[in-house]
Every structure is written in structure tokens, then in C-alpha cells.
Structure 1
Amino acid sequence: MNILKKFIKYYKPHKFLFYTDMLCALIVSMIDLAFPQILSYLTKNLFTQDKATILHALAFVGIALLGMYVIKYFCQYFIISWGHIMGARMETDMRYDLFNHFQRLSFSYYDKNNTGEMMSKLVADLFDISELAHHGPENLFISALKIVGSFIILMMINVKMTAILLFVTIIMVLFTVYKNIKMAPTFTDIRVKIAAVNSSVQDSLSGIRVVKSFANEDVESEKFSLSNQDFLLSKIKVYKTMGNFHAWNSFFEGLLYVVVIISGGVFIAEGSLKITDLAIYVLYINIFINPIDVLINFTEQFQKGYAGFKRFVEVVETQPDIVDKAGAEPLTDVVGQIEYRNVSFHYNDDSSVLDNVSLTIRAGKTIALVGPSGGGKTTLCSLLPRFYDVTAGSITIDGKNIQDVTLESLRNTIGIVQQDVYLFDGSIKRNIAYGKADATDAEIIEAAQNANIHEFIMSLEEGYETYVGERGVRLSGGQKQRLSIARVFLKNPPILILDEATSSLDNESEQYIQKSLEKLSKNRTTIVIAHRLSTIKNSDEIVVVTDIGIQERGNHKQLIEKGGIYAHYYDMQFEGLE
């Protein structure tokens, strides 16, 4: 019932379409129920008259029947077209809610879930839900009307025969309910399996360059084949269950006809039923059985939609780990004084990354974090914009605890340039403008000039409108990096995080980008993570972070003279060069 209430909520914005759809369904059902009654009336009252009377009345009967079916035509058109449109609109609303919820979920959710599975929930699951949203109420309503209406009329024709019919129908309904309960897990399983297929496709296509570089197409094909085969086996199980289900229901439908013929013959022999009434009775049996058939077919649609909606609800009810606390205020007039106070952090599996770390970064200064991989440098930076929350301790900006300010204002205060640059599918202009949605062309060009990428862009045939390809594949590593720097220039944040921004570049690209980064860092509080120690020699302070915390602090000269960990790293990189 809880799932059902959440589902019904999506009908509210489309109440007019829903009620009109139900009204049309009512009219169609009434017309279908009325036809045998009209035929019965004409047979008993009109067709027994003389030729002239019959021919005179038939003109009016024909016009009335034609008008009735014209009305049915328009109602049927509305049900098929606008009923589906209502379902599509509900699907759109759900997809919008799901996508927005994905945007709100914390990094920890994406650490544990696959993109392909999320895509499956956005596309395949929601299509089944939209079909259920349209056909569900309509099929239930029409079928209920026809079953109840035809049953009442059948009772009026012959009570005893209808009582026998009811007994067989009850057995059929109990069987259907039992089979539905048994089928539910198979439809849930098929949703999981198709999500696994999508996950395999997404993973392989996203890494297609790595696949081809290792000539591992056969390996990927085998991996996909496994998930694809699992999906096939799941579908085979579903179809066997459905085949058994439909075959039994078909048997019960045939049994209804057998009951009618045998019991009808008995009652005709006894003289309690007329042959003409049996003919009308058979017509209503068709009307009675047809909605039962619709409901039986609907069960498959219901199971698919219900399984999909359950998965949808599981996601939208997943609470983000990191949200604005009650009473959070915007972070304004930022100077850039940062302080980590006794900060500890561990992931959900309790593996400790940082333990009781304290660090003060003065406003406008550049601090560099160096040390072995896995020491917690990136984690230390990820805690500042609250990509993750501290397990213990606190982080402040200008004396304000970052957990007391709004996430939007906090993250607008911080610009990040990473080693792995992500460019969106689209133009160069659009990618730079991602740093400021309402930026003018002049501001975009200025940002590109500051990032030393403007001349390159202008050398391209389409300039700023040049298409960069998915993830920026049509650009070199250095070009992508400079675009990401231009994006941050446009954002113009008071705090800057440079996460190994030049570590994967050639020397020439590094020189270009280092100049851009120095310009970008000017008058900003900057945290640099670097493995190339040549890029951080001029930092105001260098902090050596290892898996047991902060080991050394000082400027380049002080740490070299100290002869500790930093000096050891420096000698390893530059032995014999100076």
C-alpha cells in the first residue's frame, strides 16, 4: 500500500486527463454492455413485427447505433492517444525526480553503484512504469465495469447457470492471485539482470580505448556474454512462468464455455431457458470473458511496472549523506582562511584514511600537499567542499564551520582543477561556460586567454563552437586541462584546489599550464596536490602527508635543509640534475 500511495501521487498533476480517460472508459464499457441488450430487445419486440414496421424503425435504429459507435470512436481515440500521453508525462515526471535525486546523492553512493544500473533505472524501468500508469487504472476500471455489468445481466437471464459460472470464475481468480504472487520475484530478477547488461555495456564502451589498446575485445565480449546470458536465462524463466499462467487461464476460459453449453442444454431441456436467451447469454459470456482476459494479460504488465517502481522508490528514498543542515546560511564575503581542526575520516567500511589531522592555511597563501599515494592528500581536499563529511573534528572557512553553511555557497567558493579532466559532450564554449552559466562571450574569451588556450581555440575552424566529443576525446590532455582551468577562471572562486593538475602532461604542456595555474592562484587561497615537486618549490608552505598523518611542514628551502621525507623525495626526482 505504501508503494501504491507513492505511485498515485504522480497522477495528481494530470487529474483532468485521468478523469477524462476514466469517463471515456466508462462510456466504451456501457456501449459494449448495451449492444446485446439492444439486440435482445429488437429480437423480441421489433423483428416480430410486419415488414413495413421493421423497415421504418430500422432507419432510426441504424442512426442511433451509428451515433453510439461514433461516440465510442472518439472515446477510444482519447483512451489510446491521451491515455498514453498521460502515462508518458508521468514517466517524464518520474525521470525528472530520479535524475534530480541522482544529482543530490553523495559521492559515497556513486562509490558503491554502477552508472549502467542507474541508466537502466532511468530508461528501461520507467518505460514499464509509464505503461502501467496508463493501462493500469483503465484496464481495471473497464474490466470491473464489464464483469460486474455482464454478471448482473447474466443473473437476470438465468440465476442457476450464472451461479455455476461464478463458481468456475472464483477458482480462476484464486489461481490468478496465487500465480501472481509466484511470478513477482521473476520480474524483479529480470530488472536486475537487464541492469547488469546495461552496466556491462556502459563499462566496456566508456573504456573502449583501453579495451582496444590491450586488444581485449574478446575479453569484453566474454564478459558481456555472461551478463547477456544471465538476462536470457531470467527471461526464459519468466516466459515459462507466463506460458504456464496463460495456458491455465485459457483452460479456465474454455471451461466457462463448457459450463454454459452443458448447463444451458440442461435448462433448455427442462424448459426454464429459451434458445434465444441462450444466444444472448453467450454474447454476454464473451463480454464477461474478454475483461478477464485483459486482466490476465495485465498481470504481466503490472508485475513489470511494479518491479520497476519498487527500484525507483528505493533510489528516491535513499537519503543523501551530505545535505544542508537546518538553519544553514550562505557563505559570503569569503577571505579564504581555512582551518582543519583534529580532523579524522574513515569510509563506511571503517578503513581509516585520516586521523586527528590539524592544519591552518592562511588566506591568499599557497600550500602544497606531498607524500606517498594513499596518504590522504586527495581525501583532505575532498573534505573541504564536503564531497565527504569528516568523521570527527571540524573544518572552518573564515572561522565558519563548513557544515553550518549551504552546500551551494560552499562549493561556489571553491574551484577545483583535477588531473582527470571531465569535458561534457558539446562545444568548447559550452564547456568553459560551465564555470558560470550566465557568462557573456567576452567573459568566456577572457577566461580562455587567462588559461593560455584562446589562440588554439581561434585556430580551429569553428572556434569556440568546435565540438569536443564525448569526454573531450578530440583534444589533447594539455588542451583539455587548459579548458578546465579556463572554466575555473570564469568561476573566479576565492579558494582553489589543484589536484595533480599537471602530473600526466608532457613538459611543454606542463609549462603552459603551470603559467596558467600560477596566474589562477594569484590572490587566492590555494591547495596544491603534486607529485612533481618542481611545480611546488615556490609554495608558501609544503606539507608532507603520509598514512600516519602530517609528518613535515615548511617551505622548500627549510624542508631540504631538514633532510627528511621531502628531501628524500626531491633527491629521488632530481638526483644528478642540479
Structure 2
Amino acid sequence: MLSTLALTAVNLSAPRVLTSMTAMVEQGISQDQLGDIGKLTLILLGLYLFKITFRFMASYLSHKAAWQLVEDMRMKVYNKIQGFSMSFFHDKQTGDLMSRVVNDTATFELLYAHIIPETVTNVVTLVGVTVILLSINFRLALLTAIPIPFILICSWIFATKVRPNFRVMQKSLAGLNSQLQDNISGIKEIQAFGQQDRETARVEKKASIFTSSMLKALKLSAVYHPSVEFITSIGTIMVVGFGGYFAYQGQISVSDIVGFLLYLSLFYAPISGIANLLEQAQQALAGAERVLDILDTPNDIIDEPGAKDLSDVKGEIEFDNVSFHYIEESPILKNVSFTAEPGKMIALVGPTGVGKSTTTQLAARFYEPIEGTIRIDGNDLRSIKLQSLRSQIAMVLQDTFLFNGTIAENIAYPRQHVEMDEIIEAARIARIHDDIMQMPNKYETKIGERGIKLSGGQKQRLSIARAILCKAPVLILDEATASVDVETEAHIQQAINDLAGTRTIIAIAHRLSTVRKADQILVFENGEIVQRGNHDQLMAQEGLYRRMCIAQEKGAKLEEEIA
């Protein structure tokens, strides 16, 4: 700001020096005045050198501040998104959220690097030039102000017309990003079903909306800016015309007219500059609205006042009459109650969509129960800090996600400082070590985005190794053996059995053979627990569990006969 103000002062001083030189030339230069001309020339040279220096400082420092602001805003938006509960993401597209973090925050650069410093410059310049023009010739200064109301009217009309187009532009850019993200993630399916032409048309439609809104904004700008220039040029014409008339009457000198014209360019430049800034402001506001929409969204899962850290966790998980729904008309869980005792294995079984995975996600507080209470070691989850709670729970999710890095980095992901021996030990327990040793770079092998270079079974076992490395007292396995063959399933089952007794295990399984040794099996149906007990107890009674076991045994025998 200091550089900007200094630059403005230099800009206001230079025409005054030129006016003095013109007055001396107009009156005729004597031998004695040549020295004065030389001094004014050196002063003018100094002013222009200062102008270069201050312009550099104003430009660079404002851009430095601007991009640091953008970086801060990006981190604020990212951290806000990162803290939202899972319900926030149900109706959001990844590409749209990425666009808010990257594209919409970039419009704040306009605010700091251009709008704020240039507005200050323009206002100070306008005030300073107005004072100088009034001191030169009061009547001529008033005549130069005639175009200003017309410029303001044009600016107001432009602002109301152009901002909706910038809103559409920012939103359509997010839509384009979302479409590209979906298509690139699903490129295998697009090629497998031969839908390249269809997806090309969809991307082209999104791109066309962005282009159309951009062109509408540019069309308005193409009308607005020349209109402002024309109106300001009328002011110049009036100065020339009336200035010549006043000079004819002897009311103003030629040097004052020259000075007036020099200052006139500085007088209308801020007005034209404000017109340009108005356009940038509309674009910045359109992006800022989308950024603030994220920042102003309340997070429904936060640390409550007085929330505490967990210590010396045993791993007892208790559900007390818990009910939950994503959509109010469709309850997922109804009055679910059970206790997973420390060091015991509890299995959740039942048909698809009865609330088994939701139960485990409630235990990690990804969602809040609509009714009821969930406790760990007797502590209500809402009284515990989120970071502390989740550090006590290791999860192997049904939809395995791996990061684009090495195998070692993915296994070690839950902890910052891990010895290689610990990584290898976790891989051995998960029965993935032998597979890793056959890979080109072993534990330093790059697995690609989402682990695309690995098989489904390898990804599943890698995620199990990652969870084991957490050494958390509670381990949640959501279909941990869903993507593995029978032999690998046996290995993983042995690993789970080895872990039994050392931590609380909550396992979801469709393959009931993997939960036979569970201390307690909960059978879910229509969001309720309809049976509970161990394998032998449940097989001894008529019910859903027995029917499921018999059906799976028949299916296994049929597969053997076909083989």
C-alpha cells in the first residue's frame, strides 16, 4: 500500500514539473533559466526512476500478498471440507469441490493484487487531480466533471448485467471439472461399454456452457469499456474547446491548458480504471460466493465443548437403542443395542442394505445417531475428541482406497514414523508379504492411482496390513475377504484369528465361514437385530442365520460339482 501511494504521488507530481517547464518555454528562455530547465529535467528523470521502482514494488508485493491469500483460502476451504461428516458428501461431486478449492479461490487474487491496490490508487489520484484541476481553473474543472454521472450509470448497469454471467461461468467450470473427474475415474467402464462418443458429447456440453457464459460476459465488456472511453473522450473535447475559448478571452494561459490536458488523462484514467475493476470485482464476487458457501456451511459433527482425549482404551463398544436414517422416510437402523466386549470378536451378518456398514460408521462417528447413544469404554462418543476417537479405531472398508504411492507408504499411512520391520510384519500378518516380494521393486513398488496395478485381493490385503499397523484397540473389518480367493481367505481368516483376543474386532461378512469363530454374531434384518449368539447357538435354532448358512453351503457344493 505504501508503494502504491508513493507511485500515485509520483504520478501527480510529474505533470506539475512539465507544466512549469512549459510555462518557462512559453515566456521565453534566457541564459540564466537554462540551469532551471536542467534542474527540472533531472527532477523529472528522478521522478520517472522512482515511478519504475514503486511500480515494481507495488506490483510484486501486491501479487505476493494476493497469492499467499489464495493459498490461505485454499487451505481453509480444504480443511473445512476435510472436516465435514460423510452426510455432506452424499450429494456433492468431487470435481465441484475441487473447483471450489482451486478455481474459485483463485479469484481472490483479483481482490488483493488488483482491486484493492488499484482502487486506492484510483481514489487518491482522482481526489488529488480534482484538487489540482480546481486550483488551475475552477470553471474548466467543473466542465470536466460532467461525464462522471453518465459513467457511473453505465457502471451500475454493467455490474447488474455481468455478475450473473460470472456466476454461471464459475458454476459451469465446476460442472466441467466434475464431468472430467467422473470420466477419467471411470475410463475403464467407458471403454468397456464403448461409450466414448456419448461421454464426448457430455463433456462438450459442459464446456459449451462455460464458453457461452464467458462470451456473454465478454460481449457486455466489449460494449461497456468503449462506452466509458467515449464518454471520457467527450470530457477531453470539452476541455480543448472551452479551454481554447477561455485562452482567447485571456482567462487561462497556454501552459495551464497543457497542464490541464496532462492532468486530464490522470483524471479520467482512474474512472476508466474503476470501470475495469468493477468487471474484475464481479468475477471475484462470483468465485467468493462459492468459497463462502463452503466456509459458511456448518459441520454437523464437531468436538463438543469440554470434549476429552481417550486414554488407556480397552475397546468396549456399546450401542444403546441406536436409530439412524439417511432419508427420514427410510430408516436404516431401529433401536439397535449390543455390546462388543474388549478383546472379543463380534460379527454383523445379514442381507445387503440392512445397516451393517452403517453400524460400523456410526461407531467411528462418521455420522451421528438420530436416537440413542454409542459409547466406548463407557464414554459417550460425543464427549470425546474426534481425532482421539478415530485414533483408537482401525478400519478395513468394503470399498478399498489406496493412495498413489509405494506399497510401503500405503501400509505405513496411519502412522508418521514407522520402521520397515513393522511394515513387513503387518504385511506378513495380512498374508501380502509374499506377493510384495515378487514385485519388481518390492515394498517400493508404485501401485498407481487407487492401486490400479494391484488385483482386488492384493488391495484388500494391503488395506488389512494398513489397519493392523495402526495397533488400535478396535478393529473394524467391513467385508475384509470380499475380493479374495478361497486360499487367500483362509490366510486372512487365520490372521484375524491371530488378532482375536488382542483387540476388539467388529467384522461384517457375507461369507459366513469367516465369522464361525466369532464370540458373538448379530443377525440384522430390516435395520433390526433379529438374532444374536455364537455360530453353534444360532445353528441350533430356526432363523435367518441358519437359512443363510445352509444356502451358502449348497452354493459351495454346487461350485465344487461344476469344477
TM bin (shorter chain)? over 0.9
Residue 532 and residue 226 in structure 1: after superposition, are their counterparts in 2 closer, same or farther (change >3 A)?
A: same
Judged with a 3 Å threshold, the aligned counterparts in structure 2 of structure 1 residues 128 and 576 are, in CA distance, closer, same or farther, namely: closer
**Which SS does the other structure have where 2:301 is aligned?**
coil
Shift of 1:510: 2.5
Deviation at 1:174, TM superposition (A): 3.1
**Paired letter, 2:274:** L
Q: Distance in 2 between matches of 1:504 and 1:470?
A: 18
AA partner of residue 353 (structure 2):
G
Which residue number corresponds to residue 283 of structure 2?
304
Compare 147-156 and 178-187 and name the one that shifted more: 178-187
Using structure 2 for the length normalisation, give the TM-score.
Answer: 0.94
Structure 1 position 264 matched with structure 2 position 209: no
Kept in 1, the 8 Å contact 2:99–2:174? The answer is yes
After TM superposition, list the pairs within 5 Å mapping 1:71-82 onto structure 2.
Answer: 71-82=50-61
Distance 1:359 1:50, change over 3 A: closer
Q: Secondary structure at the match of 1:143?
A: helix
From 132, 137, 143, give the equivalent of 2:122: 143
Tell me the alpha carbon deviations over residues 516-541 of structure 1, each in whole angstroms, 9 at most, x when there is no partner: 33334442211111111121122222
Q: Do the aligned partners of 2:146 and 2:235 also contact (CA within 8 Å) in 1?
A: no
How many residue pairs get aligned? The number is: 557
Alpha-carbon deviations, 1:127-160, whole Å to 9, x = none? 1212221212210111112211111121122222
Aligned pairs for 1:415-494 within 5 A: 415-494=394-473
Measured after TM superposition, the shift of residue 303 of structure 1 is 1.1
Moved over 4 A (4+): none
Tell me the CA shift for residue 382 of structure 1.
0.8
Q: CA deviation at 1:577?
A: 5.0
> Is 1:382 aligned to residue 365 of structure 2?
no
Determine whether 1:397 maps to 2:376.
yes
Q: Which residue of 2 aligns with 1:363?
A: 342
Q: In the alignment, which residue of structure 1 is the partner of 2:36?
A: 57
Structure 1 segments unaligned to the other structure (5+ residues): 1-21
Aligned: 1:205 with 2:184: yes
**Aligned equivalent of 1:323, options 293, 302, 307:** 302
Q: 2:296, 2:490 → 1: CA distance?
A: 48
Bigger shift: 457-466 or 416-425? 457-466
Where does residue 176 of structure 1 map in the other structure? Answer: 155
* Shift in Å, 1:342: 0.8
User: What RMSD in Å do the two structures reach over aligned CA positions?
Assistant: 1.9
1:550, distance to aligned residue in structure 2 (A): 1.0
Shift of 1:50: 4.2
Are the counterparts in 2 of residues 47 and 54 from structure 1 also a CA contact under 8 Å?
A: no
**By how many angstroms is 1:395 displaced?**
1.0
Give the conservation status (yes or no) of the 8 Å contact 2:17–2:40: no
SS at match of 1:123: helix
TM-aligned CA deviation for residue 449 of structure 1: 2.2
CA contact (8 A) 1:496 1:521 kept: no
Match of 1:498 in 2: 477
Q: Residue 35 of structure 1 aligns to a residue in which SS?
A: helix
Secondary structure at the aligned position of 1:179 is classed as helix
Moved more, 188-197 or 168-177: 168-177
**Cα displacement (A) at 1:429:** 1.6
Structure 1 residue 576 displacement after superposition: 6.8
1:559 aligns to what? 538
What is the CA deviation profile of residues 271-294 of structure 1, one whole-angstrom value per residue up to 9, with x for unaligned ones?
323333222211111111222222
Work out the percentage of aligned pairs sharing the same amino acid: 37
Kept in 1, the 8 Å contact 2:21–2:40? The answer is: no
- Structure 1 residues 20-419: aligned runs within 5 Å: 22-45=1-24, 48-50=27-29, 52-347=31-326, 349-419=328-398
TM-score (norm: length of structure 1): 0.92
Provide Cα deviations, 1:445-493, integer angstroms capped at 9, x if missing partner.
2222222222332333323222111111111112211221111111111
Deviations 1:339-362 (A, max 9, x none): 211111122545311111111222
Maintained 8 Å contact 2:321/2:337: yes
Task: For residue 575 of structure 1, give the secondary structure of its aligned residue in structure 2.
Answer: helix
Q: What runs of 5+ residues in structure 2 fail to find an aligned partner?
A: 558-563
Task: Quote the Cα distance in structure 1 between the aligned partners of 2:226 and 2:31.
Answer: 51
8 Å contact kept, 1:98–1:316 = yes
Bigger drift between 117-126 and 292-301 goes to 292-301
Counterpart amino acid of residue 261 in structure 1: V
Structure 1 range deviating more: 346-355 or 72-81: 346-355
Provide the rounded CA distance (Å) in 1 between the counterparts of 2:147 and 2:58: 31
